[in-house]
Amino acid sequence: WKDAASWEEFYRLYRKLVYGLARRAALNHNEAEEVTQDVFKRVAETIHNFESDPQRGSFRGWLMNLTRWRVADKFRARRAEEHQIAASRDNTNTGSTAGSIERIPDPQIDDEAVWENEWQRNVLEVALGRLARRVPAKQFQAFDLYARQSWPVLRVSRELGINPASVYLISHRLTKQLKAEVAHLKAQLG
């Protein structure tokens, strides 16, 4: 944990994943930020106890469970707050918030496929960020416009003032590099 660069990389890799899961569970921005901070605090406190054992589950699975538990904590806190508000109101006001507890959605984060899709998207974003920092900006822009945004090659060529053949070559080369970066990240993160 003395390695600030590694912690920053770890945070960059997993922050959007945790925050996104909290938001999909119907937490507001502030609650999702609190969940994210709570999860990373818990990771920092307990990572030394984590053992990589396929029978016990993956690190991502452990992280997903930490996130689920923190989201559930937020919903319990919401319900407790709603209950306190309802109890403090005049009992004669029957149309108040009594039914609002039932309107709070349960966290919909049980779907591991959603978590996995978000993970794949997150790995791709991180790999793209690494690629963007490693190659000349104009080349990455050509790649982004042609390969990711599906601009026609002649439009990319005209906008960036480069040869159409260069657009194809850049796209091919950076696609290979992106695939390698994604594979590297997946191997590194398990």
Whole-number percent of the chain with pLDDT over 70: 82
pLDDT in tens, 40-97: 999 888 877 776 666 667 788 888 888 989 999 988 888 877 777 777 775 545 554 4
pTM: 0.61
Provide the mean pLDDT of the chain.
83
pLDDT in tens, 135-188: 999 999 999 999 999 999 999 999 999 999 999 999 999 999 999 999 998 887
Q: What is the pLDDT of residue 103?
A: 46
CA distance 60 to 63: 5
Q: Which residue has the higher pLDDT, 27 or 53?
A: 27
Residue pair 75/106 in contact (Cβ under 8 Å)? The answer is yes
Q: Which residue has the higher pLDDT, 2 or 96?
A: 2
Could you report how far apart the first and last alpha carbons of the chain are, in Å? 20
Q: What is the pLDDT of residue 177?
A: 97
Q: What is the pLDDT of residue 115?
A: 79
| Amino acid identity at 75 | F
Q: Which residue has the tokens 């090659």?
A: 153
Q: What is the pLDDT of residue 156?
A: 96
Q: What is the pLDDT of residue 181?
A: 94
User: Residue 79: which residues within 8 A CB-CB, separation 6 or more?
Assistant: 101, 104
Q: Which helix (H) or strand (E) holds 123?
A: helix 112-134
